[in-house]
Structure 1
Amino acid sequence: MKNISRLRYFIYLSLIIIGGCTTGKKALQKGDYDASVAKAVSRLQNSPKNSEAMQVLKTAYDLALQDHLRKINEAKLSNDLYRWESIMYDYQKINQLADDINSCPACLVLVPTPSKYIQEVADSKLNAAAARYNSGLGYLQTNDRQSAKKAYYEFEKAQNLQPNYKDVKAKMDDAYWAAVTRVVVQPIILNGGPYKLSADYFQQQIDQFISSYSRNKFVIFYGEEQATNQKIIPDQVLSLNFDDFMVGQTYVKERIEKLKRDSVVIGETRERKPVYGTVKATLSVFEKTISSSGLLDMSIMDWQSKKVVRQQKFPGTYVWRDSWASYKGDDRALSNNQLAMTRRKEVLPPPPSALFLEFTKPIYNQLVDDIGYYYNSF
């Protein structure tokens, strides 16, 4: 019986705690008036006669309204450039409270005419857009890229607050092109030879990267031919050249192993009993490696000053390997793996153009990572 009484007590206590939370009482005690109103409204929608929620709603709504109006008045008296966004936010919160109450019949009995500020929201949006627009004009007059970038974001916020405000779209466009860094990427020059096709493919990968680059919208890459056709005056020129490369350096290493195995059946007696003995063999293992490597130089030059602002070197290496073996003597001296190796034949290595392409793969990965890192902050 005692256990049942305790269980009932804890259930009752839990209901009181849960009830206190869902009616908004705790939020009210913490001074979170908006949350208190929302919870009280939710409770009254499900339980219209909940006395605690009714009491909480009336008190919380009055306090929430007073709190938002106080913040609005304080903001209007401040010199904060963006004060109208704060004012708009508080008016919107008041309107949200009214919408919540209007959706609850039991709540309207307690708060029959919740305040709404429709025109005030529209006016504050307009004033907020004007503040952002004027701020953007100020940044744009500074005539440097970082200020133009700030101007772009100010015009963008003005556009979001008040679509088609004045000539904000045109100003956004002006700010964008004033903030953009135009980078012309010069092609890698590799005259003729067996590697030209591979170098062209490597160049195509770089061209594809710069054409799809989107990490920073204030940086635009142009190929040299594209820049010429569009008469682009670059801000920077990015040059790529191989300082050096070596393809097909071949090494062949032979390793000789003397093998023997005891207790191997080498015959039988007249009585057909096995005769055990030792078998021997000489195993020659051949290991062939073909090494290819190169070093790519990347330099970025400021077009106006003709000074190199960044220079990096990216190494790449690719090693092709093959192995096979031969033996002399009794094959029973060899393990299964060794015997399988003797059945392999030397294979033809990839052509030089393929080896060239392989060592450029790690170079490409380093290159695009560095370009992305460098231009991310522009």
Structure 2
Amino acid sequence: MKNLPRLRYFIYLSLIILGGCTTGKNALQKGDYDASVAKAVGRLQNSPKNTEAMQVLKMAYELALQDHLRKINEAKLSNDLFRWESIMYDYQKINQLADDINSCPACLVIVPNPIKYIKELADSRYNAAVARYNSGMAYLNENNRLSAKKAYYEFEKVQNLQPDYKDVKTKMDDAFWAAVTRVVVQPIIINRGPYKLSGDYFQQQIDQFVSNYARNKFVIFYSEDQATTDKVIPDQVLSLNFDDFVVGQTYVKERVEKLKRDSILVGETRDKKPVYGTVTATLSIFEKSISSSGLLDMTITDWQSRKIIKQQKFPGTFVWRDSWGSYQGDERALNKNQLAMTRRKEILPPPPGALFLEFTKPIYNQLVENISYFYNSY
């Protein structure tokens, strides 16, 4: 019973704090007038006679309106080329406040005629589009790739503000193609018979990667055939060639072990008593490894100057292994694993084409990671 007054106190204090939060009082005290209006409106929608929410709404709306109008006036006096975007933002916030209040009958008793700036918002949006369009044209006229990228993003903002403004769609398209880097990927040439099909498959994997590349919209990859068909003049050429590769280097190693085991039942006496002794065997273990490896050269060259922009080499190795065994002597000298090894037979290795593909797998992973890293922010 002694704790009851304390419990009531904490409940009362929690209700005060909760009431202050839901009515927007705390937000008002912190100077967040928009949030204060939103919370007061929410409170009055659920509890139309909440006195504190009414008081908060009246004060918060007046302060929010004054604050946004002050920011609008300051922005109009500034030299910021893109000031109309901040002006537009503040008009949007004022109009949102009005929409919130208009959705709440109890709120309209407190603020009967919330102000909306429809024309002013439309004008500021238009002026913001004009500023971005002019900025985009200035970048586009610099006639270089980086400026064209900036122009593209400026025209993209214009479209978001005023979709049908002037010839923005055409200018956006012009900027895009001025910003694009066209990369022709030359095929890997492998004329050695057993590996041609595997080399073609490796090439197909690369072609699939570059054709699906979409991380940077301003980089487009073409195969040689596609570039010829579409009459594409490349900006860069990406060539891939194996400096060298070796498939099927075979190594066989034999390891001989002398084995013996004591206390093994080897017979019995005439009176049927067991006789224990030592058994021995010679175990031969054969280990075969077939190594395949290669080194791929990637070179990116500027088409006009013929200068090398980037060059890197990617190594790859694959080792196929097999093991088996045989023994002479008493098999009881062998443990379970050794005995299982002697029952295995030598198996045929994969064909050369399969070995070729295996050593290209780590090369492919390195290659696509490197291409992505180079072009993602190019």
Which digits, 9 at most, give the CA deviation of each residue in 1:213-233, with x for residues without a partner?
Answer: 111110011111111111111
Please give the secondary structure, in 2, of the residue aligned with 1:338: helix
Partner of 2:186: 186
Following superposition of structure 1 onto structure 2, how do residues 320-339 of structure 1 map, counting pairs within 5 Å?
320-339=320-339
Query: Post-superposition shift, 1:126?
Result: 1.0
Does 2:85 correspond to 1:85? yes
| Range 245-254 or range 41-50, more displaced | 41-50
CA distance in 1, matches of 2:81, 2:264: 96
Query: Post-superposition shift, 1:118?
Result: 1.4
Give the partner amino acid of 2:34. Answer: D
Give the partner amino acid of 1:260. Answer: K
CA distance in 2, matches of 1:129, 1:2: 69
- Coordinate RMSD, CA, aligned: 0.9
Query: Post-superposition shift, 1:163?
Result: 1.1
Query: Post-superposition shift, 1:272?
Result: 2.8
Partner of 2:146: 146
Give the partner amino acid of 2:17. Answer: I
Partner of 1:262: 262
CA distance in 1, matches of 2:229, 2:28: 67
Please give the secondary structure, in 2, of the residue aligned with 1:19: helix
Following superposition of structure 1 onto structure 2, how do residues 351-362 of structure 1 map, counting pairs within 5 Å?
351-362=351-362
Give the partner amino acid of 1:57. Answer: L
Query: Post-superposition shift, 1:49?
Result: 1.2
Which digits, 9 at most, give the CA deviation of each residue in 1:233-274, with x for residues without a partner?
Answer: 111111111001111000000011111111111122333332
Query: Post-superposition shift, 1:119?
Result: 1.5
Structure 1 residue ranges without an equivalent (≥5): none
Partner of 2:42: 42
CA distance in 1, matches of 2:271, 2:286: 44
Partner of 2:32: 32
Which digits, 9 at most, give the CA deviation of each residue in 1:283-340, with x for residues without a partner?
Answer: 0001100000000001111111111111000000000000000000011111111111
Please give the secondary structure, in 1, of the residue aligned with 2:112: coil
CA distance in 2, matches of 1:269, 1:129: 110
Give the partner amino acid of 1:233. Answer: I
Partner of 1:108: 108
Query: Post-superposition shift, 1:117?
Result: 1.0
Partner of 1:305: 305
Which digits, 9 at most, give the CA deviation of each residue in 1:132-170, with x for residues without a partner?
Answer: 111100000000000000000000010011112111111
Which digits, 9 at most, give the CA deviation of each residue in 1:345-366, with x for residues without a partner?
Answer: 0000001111111101110111
Partner of 1:75: 75
Query: Post-superposition shift, 1:192?
Result: 3.6
Does 2:144 correspond to 1:133? no
Give the partner amino acid of 1:305. Answer: S
Query: Post-superposition shift, 1:101?
Result: 0.8
Partner of 1:369: 369
Structure 2 residue ranges without an equivalent (≥5): none
Partner of 1:158: 158
Please give the secondary structure, in 2, of the residue aligned with 1:295: strand
Give the partner amino acid of 1:317. Answer: T
CA distance in 1, matches of 2:207, 2:341: 44
Which digits, 9 at most, give the CA deviation of each residue in 1:23-81, with x for residues without a partner?
Answer: 11111111000001111111111111111111111000000000001001111111111
Partner of 1:235: 235
CA distance in 1, matches of 2:192, 2:281: 50
Give the partner amino acid of 2:38. Answer: A
CA distance in 1, matches of 2:22, 2:348: 77
- Normalised TM-score (structure 2): 0.99
Q: Among all aligned residue pairs of Structure 1 and Structure 2, give the percentage whose two residues are the same amino acid.
A: 82
Partner of 1:206: 206
Give the partner amino acid of 1:70. Answer: R
Please give the secondary structure, in 2, of the residue aligned with 1:195: helix
Please give the secondary structure, in 2, of the residue aligned with 1:2: coil
